[in-house]
Structure 1
């Protein structure tokens, strides 16, 4: 018998690019035992996903190249196995679930067929494969599983799609499950449910779980041990408690320092004339009521956070306010004038005061335009803001204001990291000198240190320029650090609202307490308390 279920020894991976050789993984070694959860923790570019791809034989070669090492599974070196041997192992004994389930589920086939296909590819009969698929869909909590087998991926929520990916990975009862950022874009309650489900399935099957993440809270909640990676190297290994209470490497200490939810909570502003007044805002899609009469206001320079699960209506509020969709009823008064009653021409003029930063800058920035063109486009639409001879200098000022360099104006979006692209999106919003910026999950997919930098940037802009923010988020620790007031939404209604300190320290509603208990904290001791609180709330 092999000493470990999976052992990586001295693995090095490099990529040949037009800019030269990139050493993505540099001589890393770690192991995973049966029934154990090992987290590989690190930010974008640390090499954590590349090492997992090497295990699954998913690295394109070329441009990739494995220059050294062994990957021992049950004592057999996977790097020396034939393609036929790898096909027999992948899916059957080693499975993987990915960060973006919509990108990895085939949009043109029903989900039941996709789950069953894995079993059929490894020799099971169609009847047995479909029976196994149905049992797994029931096991991972897909509602009305028999009917859902005939639905397509777009007909499920993000959390349900992640559950379907888990079902697909578990069809053949693998010995190892690799989960690559499985909860990054999920709501806090769904995130907690997915991690709990993985733990339950692990207890049932005894599989080893390799959890790839940049989230310290996920490590505290789910991992037995963690490997910390920076720049393709392992800088530290230990239990979550060791890493949190006694970090040895500066990079680990940097990650912990950047973890949200540690700062002083802001004191909500009092008095002041509201610049935004929302009354009775409603939105229906046929018989579905997405918003059921929402009331709130906002004063200048204030940050109002809107939290709630998927489908609660928080993003719908933003779309209705900006007239990206038409409301079914209610009023949205901006500085005393009803936005919902304005003509398209009047709305065009008003948009310069109301800007939005979206969750995914890759999709919201035109890949065919340079950064200079992206930012200066605002002045093409609103030429009265700035004369053209001053555009180049102002673009440089805006880039420096968000922590980039003036010379970055000549580059294109694909030449930047995710955090840098989000800074460009913020610079574009600032180009119109708005009074209000709506951030719709603007930091949810960023690494913890980049997230901290962007939040600090937004706070600085708020304090210096007096910009108000509506901050739509599912990441409660970030909300705790950044917001003045919080709206808690559930199924199209506001169930609780108040100053951030009151919502976090003394929530009145059961739903709010459940959201807070589902949040993840980098401290394993706090996380253990939250796990107990979740269990108590579920039985209450």
Structure 2
């Protein structure tokens, strides 16, 4: 039998930690062919990223150790090659798109320099590399590509940074592309564009694609075959459509059953006196109008979802409501008091009532503090909440609520996956028992089962404690399951507002209709029909 393009055979990886040996990957085997897309599906900590990191020699050893297995590519076992041979293959023959492009793009160099450097490191002349960089940036859809090459990573949106990572990964026309959660934090329209771009580039080059994901919609849209991992082991594998419709393993059935967007929508609460009234909020940065007269009402125990593409003003609004940025105009009345006119002392007194879970937990969690310290810091600042003798018990309870274990309290943020770090951030916000939580893409990086668990937790807090939520999200099925009202924003303005049923069942604005049409369904058959419909609508 001919060799597969890339094959992992009986791979086992373990990590030696202060708490003992962690067996992250156990006897895993899979392969991908030329022109094929293999999805590796599973929750945080299942071993997805570790198994693919071994391919590119990205596991720190120690504390990591590969205890068994082979990784066969081009007739050779990569694990037996020297460092120089691995470097020659990495980036040139096998490339990777990482989950968080901002963390993997160097902030002190222009993106053009970084793309060019990828090629010159593998022997391409600089003049040819520069012209190829321009072609690549144009190909992945970056506006004004000549100017873009002279910009720095922070000057691009999240979706644009992900496109630049794709351009860099494709610079040497690799045989295999590994994409680690490439669309996790992207808006639905940008996600659809990035996935379509990957498929189009795959058709052009014939590369094999390995996509690591926890999103069943991504699997339905792009995968030919799927491997399901749990606790470091493969529990199911097969054709994507067959695995979805006839899952054999209980874990696979649990993942499919947890997919959002299939349950009952919330009945709107009876209208009462709002706890938060926002009117005419405006904010301009230089000549860019980030917010233009935004207003809404929010009642106790209600969830308002704010949706829209990157740059629509969602996160700017959230930061202004918490006075992390100052507005140019408008008012935000919290129980009759204007948040924008409170003194620092008055604002401090309200801080425990108004909490935020940020989009990027890597940036919002102090890397020098343990999880226990991160959560209990709130009780140091607000000592009236909980006696110190009860801290450890309460931390364990909070971690359990968000799907983590009590022993995780002694670890640091870098020792967790992206989804696990977001759970820590949610637990930290809940520690203050707030009346309003602003969630800025708070569940976008979570696995479907944990996402369902966290949404149920938030629903429970809303019912039992009357907590209100402002829920900024691009994951429309989650919005459908969790929200009472939906506010659609575009270019700093509110373009549509209504109950979740009104907006999802009868969207009035073309922009809202486009957002809904770009969403991914976990059913491969449904997604195939949507793709066919998009192709029919595409102009000739």
Shorter-chain TM-score: what band?
Answer: over 0.9
- Which of 380, 385, 390 matches 1:393? 390
Shift of 1:243: 1.1
Rounded Cα–Cα distance in structure 2 between residues aligned with 1:72 and 1:329: 61
Aligned-CA RMSD value: 2.5
Contact 2:396 2:409 in 1 (8 A): no
Aligned to 2:236: 236
Aligned to 2:410: 411
Aligned to 1:8: 8
1:410/1:88 CA distance change after superposition, 3 Å: closer
Rounded Cα–Cα distance in structure 2 between residues aligned with 1:380 and 1:20: 31
Contact 1:395 1:406 in 2 (8 A): no
Rounded Cα–Cα distance in structure 1 between residues aligned with 2:405 and 2:60: 35
1:20/1:409 CA distance change after superposition, 3 Å: closer
Aligned to 1:258: 258
Shift of 1:428: 4.1
Aligned to 1:30: 30
Contact 2:422 2:446 in 1 (8 A): no
- 1:34-63 CA-to-partner distances (Å, cap 9, x unmatched) read 111111111122122122122222223333
Aligned to 1:269: 269
Aligned to 1:517: 517
Rounded Cα–Cα distance in structure 1 between residues aligned with 2:374 and 2:170: 44
Aligned to 1:180: 180
Contact 1:293 1:330 in 2 (8 A): yes
- 1:225-244 CA-to-partner distances (Å, cap 9, x unmatched) read 01111122111111121111
TM-score of the superposed pair, with normalisation by structure 2? 0.93
Shift of 1:380: 4.5
Q: Secondary structure at the match of 2:340?
A: helix
Runs of 5+ in structure 2 lacking a partner? none
1:141/1:416 CA distance change after superposition, 3 Å: closer
Rounded Cα–Cα distance in structure 1 between residues aligned with 2:362 and 2:101: 18
Aligned to 2:192: 192
Deviates more, 1:285-294 or 1:396-405: 396-405
Deviates more, 1:170-179 or 1:413-422: 413-422
Aligned to 1:214: 214
Rounded Cα–Cα distance in structure 2 between residues aligned with 1:21 and 1:319: 42
Rounded Cα–Cα distance in structure 2 between residues aligned with 1:18 and 1:395: 20
Q: Secondary structure at the match of 1:142?
A: coil
Rounded Cα–Cα distance in structure 1 between residues aligned with 2:118 and 2:457: 46
- 1:498-518 CA-to-partner distances (Å, cap 9, x unmatched) read 111111111111111111122
Aligned to 1:83: 83
Rounded Cα–Cα distance in structure 1 between residues aligned with 2:420 and 2:118: 39
Rounded Cα–Cα distance in structure 2 between residues aligned with 1:418 and 1:151: 27
Contact 1:352 1:432 in 2 (8 A): yes
Rounded Cα–Cα distance in structure 2 between residues aligned with 1:11 and 1:379: 44
Shift of 1:424: 4.9
Shift of 1:160: 1.1
Aligned to 1:147: 147
Contact 2:280 2:329 in 1 (8 A): yes
Aligned to 1:340: 340
Aligned to 1:121: 121
Contact 1:41 1:48 in 2 (8 A): yes
Shift of 1:420: 6.0
Deviates more, 1:289-298 or 1:66-75: 66-75
Shift of 1:532: 3.9
1:533/1:276 CA distance change after superposition, 3 Å: farther
Shift of 1:477: 1.0
Shift of 1:296: 0.9
Shift of 1:356: 1.8
Aligned to 2:19: 19
Aligned to 2:131: 131
Deviates more, 1:137-146 or 1:367-376: 367-376
Runs of 5+ in structure 1 lacking a partner? none
Aligned to 2:327: 327
1:262/1:151 CA distance change after superposition, 3 Å: same
1:467/1:32 CA distance change after superposition, 3 Å: same
1:393/1:291 CA distance change after superposition, 3 Å: same
Contact 2:400 2:406 in 1 (8 A): no
Shift of 1:418: 5.8
Deviates more, 1:149-158 or 1:199-208: 149-158
Shift of 1:426: 4.0
TM-score of the superposed pair, with normalisation by structure 1? 0.93
Rounded Cα–Cα distance in structure 1 between residues aligned with 2:337 and 2:328: 18
Deviates more, 1:470-479 or 1:410-419: 410-419
Deviates more, 1:450-459 or 1:82-91: 82-91
Shift of 1:253: 0.7
Aligned to 1:204: 204
Rounded Cα–Cα distance in structure 2 between residues aligned with 1:451 and 1:502: 24
